[in-house]
């Protein structure tokens, strides 16, 4: 492939219009390919919150995960991922069953069958303190969590205040720089007649820390509010973030999972500012693409899955280790089998 040489941002934007499609998944053509040039590139054209959050964490991590698509650890996903996916599947199937059969379909069994399908096995103690934090996320723990989710869901259905309009609702809208912003909201709902989005989360944080660090500001929720409002043709009232808290048993915690919901909403001026900021952030990524230099942002190294890659002294050594430790799979937010490179 001939790599065009470009020097200005407007030139870059012209190049981005030339796309490569892989099974309907569109990527940006690389502008310059010098760093780890032997690897194919898969940078997604559609921009979602996971992709942007990875770049905001570290440009180099973005390059590894989203441009080169080395995302999935060869020894399987981390335990929190299987747990979070199992819980999401459970809630999704509960809702689908209810849609098909109404109140007669209120049953935990079908959701649980789907949730445990594909369980990779309970986590083993690895000696890696980061992974061992999640050693309590076993199949029995997932089952207890699903039971907690079921009781919460059933109580909501009996009250009848919230109507689920569309589960797993994908959206794509064009931002003012011509880039596509997309995502998949867990649910589009009507709450007391008003349109809302609901997202299901799982976390091991305390509610206080979760509220402080995960709700606002958060690109994902701005993106949903902006994109889904465009989809339904009326402003979303807000987002309902239903979070399942999981814990290890400690001296001060009984370890039982529980649910707490949070409300996040934005004014029109906040959404406008968010869109302006997206345009600026994409221009920063344009510079990385133009130079093919992806700066390390060391503040996050302690919690980064690519730590052992970045410690290698040569580019060739880094490439060998990437291939040894990770599987290449492009990030496509419309494919629900994809694993995000971080806690969900
Ligand atoms: S280890 Fe640090 S520099 Fe390397 S990708 Fe991760 S956050 Fe970036």
pLDDT of residue 125: 83
Dihedral sign computed on CA atoms, order 307, 308, 313, 314: negative
Q: Which atom of ligand 1 is nearest to the CA of 58?
A: 8
Kindly give the distance from the C-alpha atom of residue 319 to the centroid of ligand 1, in angstroms, as a whole number: 14
CB atoms within 10 A of CB 67: 30
Is residue 31 in contact with ligand 1, taking CB distance under 6 Å?
Answer: no
> From the CB of 311, is ligand 1 less than 6 Å away?
no
Q: What is the pLDDT of residue 12?
A: 39
What DSSP line would sit under 119-178, residue for residue? --------S-HHHHTTTT--HHHHHHHHHHHHHHHHHHHHHT-EEEEEEEEEEEEE-TTS
Give nearest CA residue, ligand 1 atom 2.
301
Buried b (16+ CB within 10 A) or exposed e, 77-110: bbbbbbbbbbbbbbbbbbbbbbeeeeeeeeebeb
Ligand 1 close to Cβ of residue 312 (< 6 A): no
CB 48 within 8 A of CB 65: no
3-12, 63-72, 160-169, 238-247: lowest mean pLDDT where?
3-12
pLDDT band at 103 (very low <50, low <70, confident <90, very high): confident
297 lines ligand 1 (CB under 6 A): yes
Q: Specify the pLDDT at position 337.
A: 52
Cα(18)–Cα(219) distance, integer angstroms: 27
Confidence of residue 234 (pLDDT cuts 50, 70, 90): confident
Confidence of residue 181 (pLDDT cuts 50, 70, 90): very high
Q: What is the per-residue pLDDT for 78?
A: 79
pTM to 2 decimal places: 0.86
Q: Token pair for residue 169? A: 């609702």
Torsion angles phi and psi, residue 86, rounded to 5: -60, -45
DSSP state of 66: I
Number of CB atoms found within 10 A of residue 57's CB: 18
pLDDT at 163: 93
Residue 130, pLDDT score: 67
64 pLDDT above the threshold of 80: yes
Best of 56, 66, 297 for a ligand 1 pocket test (most atoms within 8 Å of beta carbon): 297
Structure confidence at residue 17 as a pLDDT band (50, 70, 90): very low
Q: What are phi and psi for residue 165, nearest 5 degrees?
A: -85, -45
Percent of the chain residues topping a pLDDT of 70? 90
CA distance 267 to 201: 23
Question: Rounded to an integer, what distance in angstroms lies between the CA atom of residue 55 and that of residue 57?
Answer: 5
Q: What is Dmax (Cα atoms) for the chain?
A: 63
Residue 8 has pLDDT above 60, yes or no: no
Range scoring the smallest mean pLDDT among 3-12, 79-88, 159-168, 334-343: 3-12
pLDDT band per the 50, 70, 90 thresholds, residue 333: confident
**315 CA distance to ligand 1 middle (Å):** 14
Give the closest residue (by CA) to ligand 1 atom 1. Answer: 307
pLDDT at 342 over 80: no
Task: Name the closest-CA residue to atom 5, ligand 1.
Answer: 61
pLDDT in tens, 277-289: 999 999 999 999 9
Ligand 1 atom, smallest distance to 64 CA: 5
Q: How far is the CA of 327 from the centre of ligand 1 (A)?
A: 18
Q: Is the CB of 93 under 6 A from ligand 1?
A: no
Within 10 A of 158 (CB to CB), how many other CB atoms are there? 9
Residue 300 alpha carbon, nearest atom of ligand 1: 7
> Does residue 15 register a pLDDT over 80?
no
Q: How confident is the model at residue 37 (pLDDT cuts 50, 70, 90)?
A: very high
- The pLDDT mean for the chain works out to 88
Ligand 1 atom nearest to 299, measured from its CA: 7
């Amino acid at each position: 492939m001939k790599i065009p040489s470009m020097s200005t941002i407007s030139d870059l934007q012209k190049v981005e219009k030339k796309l490569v499609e892989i099974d309907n998944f569109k990527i940006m053509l690389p502008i310059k390919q010098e760093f780890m040039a032997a690897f194919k590139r898969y940078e997604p054209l559609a921009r979602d919150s996971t992709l942007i959050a990875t770049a905001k964490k570290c440009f180099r991590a973005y390059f590894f995960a989203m441009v080169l698509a080395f995302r999935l650890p060869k020894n399987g996903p981390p335990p929190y991922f299987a747990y979070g996916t199992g819980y999401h599947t459970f809630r999704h199937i509960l809702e689908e069953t209810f849609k098909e059969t109404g109140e007669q379909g209120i049953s935990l069994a079908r959701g649980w069958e789907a949730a445990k399908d594909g369980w990779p096995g309970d986590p083993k103690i690895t000696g890696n303190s980061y992974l061992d934090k999640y050693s309590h996320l076993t199949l029995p723990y997932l089952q207890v969590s699903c039971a907690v989710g079921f009781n919460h869901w059933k109580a909501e259905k009996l009250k009848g205040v919230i109507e689920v309009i569309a589960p797993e609702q994908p959206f794509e809208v064009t931002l003012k720089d011509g880039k596509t912003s997309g995502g998949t909201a867990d649910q589009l709902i009507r709450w007391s007649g008003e349109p809302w989005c609901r997202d299901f989360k799982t976390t091991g944080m305390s509610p206080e820390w979760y509220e402080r660090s995960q709700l606002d500001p958060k690109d994902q929720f701005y993106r949903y509010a902006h994109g889904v409002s465009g989809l339904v043709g009326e402003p979303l009232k807000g987002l309902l973030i239903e979070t399942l808290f999981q814990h290890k048993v400690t001296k001060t915690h009984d370890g039982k999972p529980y649910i707490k919901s949070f409300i996040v909403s934005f004014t029109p001026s906040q959404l406008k500012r968010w869109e302006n900021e997206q345009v600026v952030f994409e221009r920063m990524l344009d510079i990385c693409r133009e130079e093919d230099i992806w700066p390390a942002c060391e503040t996050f190294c302690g919690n980064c899955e690519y730590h052992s890659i970045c410690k290698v002294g040569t580019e060739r050594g880094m490439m060998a280790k990437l291939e040894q430790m990770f599987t290449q799979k492009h990030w496509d937010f419309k494919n629900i089998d994809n694993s995000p490179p971080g806690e969900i």
